[in-house]
């Protein structure tokens, strides 16, 4: 099925994001995780696209394997970094050949320094919007795009960011998934400004619980914004106790998801980092809610 139509149903979708494994050990962990999460019957799972080299082939092969060997519905991420249009068409053709009909079209960051200059491949495309068009031309794909609650780090201001987001929706995106964020209001503000600009593309929040203090330290890079100070203060109070930090992270993520569900979000997309336990814990906390029990 097309993820775009699943997301438009009256029940929120639940989905899990994985990364292509870098070596044999990571591959075993990923498949263990996939098998552990499969019984939760997510609506779909997604596999991110690496910055270059072999991890790109791995994205395609993991997506193919999920499609053929599991009961899960896979979505491949695809980026424009260092790819000519011919190469992009080739990857899109491989995905179609494996029966994969759902793709998240993101521009990607420059390999090495994610904040470095974005250089377009001489025969490539410039923006995610162009990737959306390529996928649309290639055939019957349901296409998703990225959304940024705190605006994209490269965007000068919120207004420009919203305008560019809407451009990619109008280019043919069926849905969007957000960058991670840590307060429901950040998502709600994004949803409101996009709606106020006349765009009704459903936006699925992407979530990841904080499990250790190091995640908070990296969160500015991950989310594009400083970690919310009032939450930071709560983590700092327990920072010497790893178990308490983890529990607080799971609790805060569960509370935020509950609030988002109460606000009628079209789905929740869990960034799993290829592990199952934290995602299952948040899921368990939400399982009693009518939305997820349906």
Q: Name 72's Cβ contacts closer than 8 Å, sequence gap at least 6.
A: 34, 38, 42, 44, 45, 66
Minimum distance from CB of 120 to ligand FAD (Å)?
Answer: 11
Comparing CB distances to ligand FAD, the nearer of 164 and 239 is: 164
Nearer to ligand FAD, 205 or 245 (CB): 205
Say which residue the tokens 């109008």 belong to.
170
**Catalytic residue of the set 17, 64, 129, 281:** 17
User: Is 34 within 8 Å of 70 (Cβ atoms)?
Assistant: yes
Q: Enumerate residues 6+ apart whose C-beta is below 8 A from 87.
A: none
Q: Is residue 108 a contact partner of residue 120, using CB atoms and an 8 Å limit? A: no
In angstroms, give the least distance from the CB of 177 to ligand FAD. Answer: 4
CB closer to ligand FAD out of 65 and 120 = 120
- β-sheet bridge partners, residue 76: 47, 103
> Strand, coil or helix: what is 292?
helix
Those residues with Cβ within 8 angstroms of residue 147's Cβ, 6 or more apart along the chain or in another chain: 165, 176, 177, 178, 179, 190, 194, 203
Q: Which is nearer to ligand FAD, 106 or 261 (CB)?
A: 106
Q: How far is the CB of 251 from ligand FAD (least distance, A)?
A: 24
Q: What's the CA gap between 33 and 235, in Å, rounded?
A: 27
Question: Which CB atom, from 49 or from 235, has the smaller least distance to ligand FAD?
Answer: 49
Task: Tell me the pairing of strands 13-18 and 44-47.
Answer: parallel
Q: Which residues pair with 74 in a beta bridge?
A: 45
Residues of this chain that interact with ligand FAD (CB under 6 A) are: 48-49, 51, 77, 79, 104, 106-109, 127-129, 146, 152, 154-155, 160-161, 164, 167-168, 177-179, 206
Contact 203, 31 (CB under 8 A): no
Least gap, CB of 19 to ligand FAD (angstroms): 8
| Residue 5 CB, nearest approach to ligand FAD (Å) | 19
Residue 27: active-site member:
no
- The token pair at 158 is 């919120």
Active site residues: 17
């Amino acid at each position: 099925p097309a993820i775009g139509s699943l997301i438009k149903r009256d029940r929120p979708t639940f989905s899990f994001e994985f990364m292509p494994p870098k070596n044999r050990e990571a591959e075993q962990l990923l498949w263990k995780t996939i098998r552990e999460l499969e019984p939760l019957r997510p609506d779909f799972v997604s596999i991110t696209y690496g910055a270059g080299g072999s991890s790109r082939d791995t994205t395609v092969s993991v997506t193919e394997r999920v499609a053929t060997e599991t009961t899960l519905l896979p979505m491949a991420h695809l980026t424009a970094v260092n790819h000519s249009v011919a190469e992009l068409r080739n990857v899109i053709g491989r995905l179609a050949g494996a029966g994969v009909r759902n793709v998240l079209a993101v521009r990607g960051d420059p390999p090495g320094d994610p904040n470095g200059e974005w250089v377009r491949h001489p025969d490539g495309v410039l923006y995610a919007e162009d990737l959306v068009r390529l996928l649309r031309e290639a055939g019957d794909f349901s296409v998703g795009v990225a959304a940024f609650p705190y605006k994209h780090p490269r965007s000068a201001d919120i207004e420009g960011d919203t305008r560019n987001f809407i451009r990619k929706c109008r280019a043919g995106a069926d849905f969007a998934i957000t960058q991670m964020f840590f307060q429901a209001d950040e998502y709600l503000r994004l949803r409101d400004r996009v709606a106020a600009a006349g765009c009704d593309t459903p936006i699925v929040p992407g979530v990841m619980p904080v499990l250790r203090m190091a995640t908070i330290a990296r969160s500015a890079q991950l989310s594009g914004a400083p970690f919310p100070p009032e939450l930071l203060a709560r983590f700092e109070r327990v920072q010497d106790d790893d178990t308490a930090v983890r529990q607080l992270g799971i609790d805060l993520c569960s509370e935020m998801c509950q609030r988002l569900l109460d606000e009628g979000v079209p789905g929740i997309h869990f960034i799993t980092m290829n592990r199952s336990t934290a995602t299952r814990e948040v899921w368990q906390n939400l399982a009693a809610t009518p939305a997820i029990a349906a």
